[in-house]
Amino acid sequence: MASSTHPSAPCAACKFLRRKCIQGCVFSPYFPPEDPIKFTNVHKIFGASNVSKLLNEIAPHQREDAVNSLAYEAEARLKDPVYGCVGAISVLQRQVLRLQKELDATNADLIRFSSNQNTFNIPQSSGNNYPQNPHALPPNYGTYSWNYDP
């Protein structure tokens, strides 16, 4: 139930937790009543207390991004309890490696063309440059491994 200082409907978090949604509620700006699933998912995976602690440790202007990334992780974990959004990371890492391999092969073809035909210059119009750091992947956290094979 909304308090007199918070005239709108209680946020989805306070409604779910059956508590009064007071002004300054840490959840209210990010869990609107019209999207109850967002809080239910985040609560199920992380727990309301952990989310509240996390939000209080983050600058206000970054809280919306934090909640939305938590909601993404939570939904991914509910859809895939074993891998969660780490499955998406595995898919993307393989895609990066495959594309890099294809690009290497295509660049090798272009070099072969230009060396076989001296009068030919490699076209510059595309502005295509060999990537400076082709294997830059996101950081590896810990030493934990898994076999993701969808």
Applying the rule CB under 8 A, the residues between 39 and 58 that interact with a second copy are 44-47, 49-50, 54, 57-58
Segment contacting a second copy by CB under 8 A, of 1-9, 12-20, 21-29, 102-110 = 102-110
Give me 128's structure tokens: 């295509």
The nearest distance, CB 77 to a second copy, in angstroms, is 8
The whole-angstrom distance between residue 97's C-alpha and the CA centroid of its chain comes to 19
User: Contact at 8 Å (CB) between 12 and 42?
Assistant: no
User: Contact at 8 Å (CB) between 77 and 89?
Assistant: no
The nearest distance, CB 1 to a second copy, in angstroms, is 27
On the CB side of 19, CA atoms within 13 Å amount to 11
Residues 61-90 binding a second copy (CB under 8 A) are: 62, 64-73, 75-77, 79, 81-89
Nearer to a second copy, 3 or 104 (CB): 104
The nearest distance, CB 50 to a second copy, in angstroms, is 6
Residues 6-25 binding a second copy (CB under 8 A) are: none
Burial status of residue 73 (CB atoms within 10 A of its CB: 0-12, 13-18, 19 or more): middle
Q: Is 29 in the site for a second copy (CB under 8 A)?
A: no
Helix (H, G, I), strand (E, B) or coil at 2: strand
The nearest distance, CB 27 to a second copy, in angstroms, is 15
Among positions 1, 19, 29, 102, the unique one binding a second copy when judged by CB under 8 A? 102
Residue matched to tokens 């727990």: 47
